[in-house]
């Protein structure tokens, strides 16, 4: 029985009202995006100050602040391998006032290294652009009779399980890149983790281990002092700081590529017109002569992309490192 005084809505009327509400919401979102920026923008860095992510974030933030005419505030939220700050970025209001500076670990390998993450890289973020990358370099102790990647691979195949490489920790980028190298080269090396990049390099210089995969900035002083030999860089192209050293890919492992990259993302649902603006402004910020000079001084190279290219890159990074973690038998945390 129908109650008196209460209007009964037909399905068609409900649909119409829903569409009007949706249209009103979209219009409101567009108006908000057009009025942007009306207040400071927060740039979350999921690591402590001083690291590559933080350095890149501060370089870019200064240029974006000039372009946007509003403060761009760095918010360092470290912990849990970068997952605390990354979750904060994923849960932020998608209004363009909170962005996240992600990395190859927080938006790539962590998806496999941690048993349960409170966010999904592909679902919870709107990619804006890759920003910069730093290659790693494969170095050996001078006593190792291998001056090229091919010679090291041949030596490892002749003595399986006899050669060791150091890294800056279990599950670190250097560890995973070492596992990728073994997988693609068909060799078996012994992984020796240390507590940091400097101890891992010192172990090679002192002859405790035969090789390491180091950040370019860490390796350069030792390479130039001839305390270690650089035999291959991990990036797709040769490093500007070591142009004479071939890439691992051109040394026989076709398709090998791994870098410590930094990129900018927004919470999923951020208006598309803002994403396009952020992409264009980020490119302009990175391509500023002063920014390029500062990146080069730190062994970093520009690595820019469209939002769609970055989205594909993220999906590939998650898939690739998942395969490496599984094949290496690394147990998720």
Q: Same domain for 306 and 233?
A: no
Q: Same domain for 228 and 267?
A: no
**DSSP-assigned letters across all residues of 119-148:** S-HHHHEEEEEEEEEEEEEEEE-TTSS-SS
pLDDT of residue 14: 47
Q: H or E segment at 19?
A: helix 11-35
Q: Same domain for 206 and 298?
A: no
Q: Does the N-terminal peptide bond of residue 37 adopt cis geometry, omega within 30 degrees of 0?
A: yes
Q: What is the pTM of this model?
A: 0.82
In a domain, 119, yes or no: yes
Residues 6 or more apart whose Cβ sits within 8 Å of residue 261? 103, 104, 130, 131, 132, 133, 134, 303
In a domain, 156, yes or no: yes
- Give the mean model confidence (pLDDT) for residues 298-312: 94
Q: Same domain for 273 and 307?
A: yes
Both tokens of 287, joined, read 């391509």
Q: Read off the pLDDT band of 167 (50, 70, 90).
A: very high
Q: Same domain for 58 and 197?
A: no
- Give the mean model confidence (pLDDT) for residues 289-311: 93
In a domain, 3, yes or no: no
Say how far apart CA 187 and CA 149 lie, in whole Å. Answer: 12
Say how far apart CA 129 and CA 60 lie, in whole Å. Answer: 12
Say how far apart CA 313 and CA 307 lie, in whole Å. Answer: 10
Last residue of a domain, one of 229, 251, 273: 251
Q: Same domain for 60 and 167?
A: no
Decide: 191 and 208 in contact? Cβ < 8 Å: no
Taking only the tens place, the pLDDT of each residue in 7-36 is 454 555 544 454 554 444 444 445 555 689
Residues 6 or more apart whose Cβ sits within 8 Å of residue 152? 138, 140, 144, 146, 163, 211, 231
State the average pLDDT for the chain.
Answer: 90
Q: Same domain for 247 and 319?
A: no
In a domain, 4, yes or no: no
Q: Same domain for 69 and 218?
A: no
Say how far apart CA 262 and CA 204 lie, in whole Å. Answer: 28
Q: Same domain for 128 and 218?
A: no
CB atoms within 10 A of CB 61: 20
What domain count does the chain have? 2
Say how far apart CA 123 and CA 121 lie, in whole Å. Answer: 6
Domain that holds residue 301: 35-134+260-328
Q: Same domain for 170 and 241?
A: yes
Q: Which of 219, 254, 285 lies closest to 56 in space, CA to CA?
A: 285
The rounded radius of gyration (Å) of the Cα atoms in the chain is: 24
In a domain, 269, yes or no: yes
- Give the mean model confidence (pLDDT) for residues 185-207: 93
Q: Same domain for 43 and 99?
A: yes
CATH of residue 63: 3.40.190.150
Q: Same domain for 139 and 126?
A: no
Q: Which of 141, 199, 139 lies closest to 169 in space, CA to CA?
A: 199
Q: Read off the pLDDT band of 332 (50, 70, 90).
A: confident
What does the chain come to in residues?
333
CATH of residue 180: 3.40.190.10
Torsion, Cα 259 260 266 267, to 10 degrees, reads 100
pLDDT of residue 331: 83
Q: Read off the pLDDT band of 328 (50, 70, 90).
A: confident
- Give the mean model confidence (pLDDT) for residues 50-58: 90
CB atoms within 10 A of CB 212: 31
pLDDT of residue 30: 52
């Amino acid at each position: 029985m129908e109650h008196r005084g209460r209007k009964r809505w037909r399905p068609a009327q409900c649909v119409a009202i829903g569409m009007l509400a949706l249209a009103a919401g979209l219009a409101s979102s567009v108006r908000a995006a057009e009025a942007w920026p009306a207040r400071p923008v927060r740039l979350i860095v999921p690591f402590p100050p001083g690291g590559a992510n933080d350095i890149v974030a501060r370089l870019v933030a200064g240029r974006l602040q000039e372009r946007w005419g509003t403060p761009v505030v760095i918010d360092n939220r470290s912990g849990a391998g970068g997952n605390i700050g990354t979750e904060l970025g994923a849960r932020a209001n998608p209004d363009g006032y909170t962005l996240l500076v992600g990395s190859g670990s927080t938006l790539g390998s962590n998806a496999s290294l941690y048993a349960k993450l409170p966010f999904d890289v592909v679902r919870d973020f709107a990619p804006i652009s890759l920003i910069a990358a730093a290659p790693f370099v494969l170095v050996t102790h001078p006593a190792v009779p291998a001056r090229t990647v091919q010679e090291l691979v041949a030596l490892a195949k002749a003595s399986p399980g006899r050669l060791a490489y150091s890294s800056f920790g279990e599950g670190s980028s250097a560890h995973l890149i070492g596992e990728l190298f073994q997988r693609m080269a068909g060799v078996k090396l012994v992984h020796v983790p240390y507590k940091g990049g400097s101890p891992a390099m010192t172990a090679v210089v002192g002859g405790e281990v035969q090789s390491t995969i180091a950040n370019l900035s860490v390796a350069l002083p030792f390479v130039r002092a001839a305390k270690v030999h650089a035999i291959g860089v991990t990036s797709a192209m040769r490093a500007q700081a070591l142009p004479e050293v071939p890439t691992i890919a051109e040394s026989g492992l076709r398709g090998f590529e791994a870098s410590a990259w930094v990129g900018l993302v927004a919470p999923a649902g951020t208006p598309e017109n803002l994403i396009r603006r952020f992409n264009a402004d980020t490119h302009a910020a990175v391509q500023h002569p002063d920014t390029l000079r500062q990146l080069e001084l730190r062994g970093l190279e520009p690595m820019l992309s469209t939002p769609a290219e970055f989205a594909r890159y993220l999906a590939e990074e998650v898939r690739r490192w998942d395969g490496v973690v599984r094949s290496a038998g690394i147990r998720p945390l």
